[in-house]
């Protein structure tokens, strides 16, 4: 093969590769354009109740009549099937694409947990495999025309949250969950910086487990301290959305597999969650891309 032929062949192969990438990017953009608002639930610390917040946020949006998708990208510990009594469910295929699992009116869920052969199966994947899975969950799941897509990420600033924010783009907003104590706030602070470095706005900080709500007298005891999340939000210059008490009924709801707000719409904990959800619901009344909070 002559040099000219080699150059022509190389350019042709490069054009084909670029064309393939463009087709994939266009398909992803077409899929994501059908979703009005993307919210990624993050925390730099494990055990802060991030998945519980994601589930109840999604349920509140759905109960308000908003078409809502809930995506679990925690590869190593997918918990949404348990939290929503969906263990054993299997997505159906429609023309090579996956149907998300219905979790009640206006709410659809997708999780790797639906695709594992058993609850004992360990997922041993490196970064590229995780990126591929997240791409498939965004592109090859039939999400329909959603008002909100809520993405529940594992703790930290590793492959999963990085991949999700990169794929969703700068219009995706982060909701960051912490508990009040300093050891959690120190790690969660890095999540705020992480979002700033990627160019994604922080919707706000939620302080979870902010005081223990006594089921007998209704008093709140600050066993983990109080105010750490609010102080973090002020320090980092991001909105503070509110505090959620540590309520035994929230724990029971998760263990039994239902969203707390669906069966306990009243009471101090429900009111605290509703105050957090209210400005997020306000996003639906604002033009897409316009910051809903000041």
At residue 250, does pLDDT exceed 70? yes
Question: Comparing 40 with 14, which gets the higher pLDDT?
Answer: 40
Q: Which two three-digit tokens encode residue 12?
A: 């042709």
H, E, C per residue of 101-116: EECCCCEEEEEHHHCC
User: Among candidates 135, 155, 105, 150, which has minimal Cα distance to 24?
Assistant: 135
- Tell me, yes or no, if the pTM score tops 0.95: no
**What confidence score (pLDDT) does residue 252 get?**
92
**Which parts of the chain fold into alpha helices (H)?**
3-32, 50-63, 80-83, 127-139, 159-168, 182-198, 228-236, 248-256, 260-263, 268-281
Q: How much is the average pLDDT of 209-234?
A: 77
Tokens of 43: 């925390």
d(CA 150, CA 71): 6
Burial class of residue 169 in the structure, from the number of CB atoms within 10 Å of its CB (0-12 exposed, 13-18 middle, 19+ buried): middle
d(CA 283, CA 278): 9
Gap between the terminal Cα atoms of the chain: 64
Average pLDDT score over the chain: 86
Q: How confident is the model at residue 218 (pLDDT cuts 50, 70, 90)?
A: low
So what's the pLDDT on residue 216?
Answer: 66
Place of tokens 């600050």: 222
Strand partners, 93: 98
Task: Band the pLDDT of 289: cuts 50, 70, 90.
Answer: very low
**Percent over 70 (pLDDT), the chain:** 85
The answer, yes or no, to whether residue 15 has pLDDT greater than 80, is no
* Highest mean pLDDT pick, 45-49, 223-227, 275-279: 275-279
pLDDT tens across 156-204, in order? Answer: 988 999 999 999 999 999 999 999 988 899 999 999 999 999 999 999 9
> Contact, 250 vs 260, CB < 8 A?
yes
Looking at residue 270, its pLDDT comes to: 93
The CA-CA-CA angle for residues 187, 198, 36, to 5°, reads 105
User: What mean pLDDT is predicted for residues 220-247?
Assistant: 87
Compute the distance between CA of residue 152 and CA of residue 163 in angstroms, rounded to an integer.
Answer: 13
Residue 281 has phi, psi (to 5 degrees) of -60, -30
Rounded average pLDDT over 273-280: 95
Compute the distance between CA of residue 72 and CA of residue 150 in angstroms, rounded to an integer.
9
Non-local CB neighbours of 177 within 8 Å, separated by 6+ positions: 41, 42, 43, 48, 49, 50, 53, 188, 205, 206, 208
* Residue whose pair of structure tokens reads 């999340």 in the numeric block: 229
Select from 190, 170, 141 the least CA-distant residue to 42.
190
**HSE, side-chain direction, 13 A CA sphere, residue 284:** 16
CA distance 30 to 218: 49
Determine the average pLDDT of the residues in 41-46. 92
pLDDT of residue 117: 76
Q: Which is higher by pLDDT, 78 or 292?
A: 78
């Amino acid at each position: 093969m002559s040099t000219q032929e080699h150059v022509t062949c190389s350019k042709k192969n490069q054009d084909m590769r670029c064309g393939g990438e463009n087709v994939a990017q266009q398909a992803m953009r077409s899929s994501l354009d059908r979703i009005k608002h993307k919210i990624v639930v993050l925390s730099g610390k494990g055990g802060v109740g991030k998945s519980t917040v994601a589930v109840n946020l999604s349920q509140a949006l759905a109960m308000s009549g908003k078409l809502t998708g809930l995506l679990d990208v925690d590869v190593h510990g997918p918990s949404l099937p348990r939290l929503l009594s969906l263990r054993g469910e299997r997505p159906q295929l429609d023309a090579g694409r996956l149907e998300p699992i219905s979790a009640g009116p206006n709410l659809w869920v997708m999780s790797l947990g639906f695709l594992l052969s058993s609850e004992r199966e360990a997922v041993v994947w490196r970064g590229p495999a995780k990126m591929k899975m997240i791409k498939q969950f965004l592109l090859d799941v039939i999400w329909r025309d959603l008002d909100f897509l809520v993405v529940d990420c594992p703790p930290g600033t590793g492959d999963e949250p990085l991949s999700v924010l990169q794929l969703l783009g700068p219009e995706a907003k982060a909701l960051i969950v912490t508990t009040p104590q300093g050891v959690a706030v120190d790690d969660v602070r890095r999540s705020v910086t992480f979002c700033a470095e990627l160019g994604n706005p922080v919707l706000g900080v939620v302080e979870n487990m902010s005081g223990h709500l006594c089921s007998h007298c209704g008093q709140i005891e600050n066993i983990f301290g109080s105010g750490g999340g609010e102080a973090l939000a002020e320090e980092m210059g991001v909105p503070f959305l509110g505090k959620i008490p540590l309520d035994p009924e929230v724990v029971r709801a998760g263990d039994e597999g239902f969203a707390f707000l669906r069966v306990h719409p009243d009471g101090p904990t429900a009111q605290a969650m509703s105050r957090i959800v209210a400005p997020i619901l306000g996003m639906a009344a604002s033009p897409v891309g316009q910051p809903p909070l000041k």
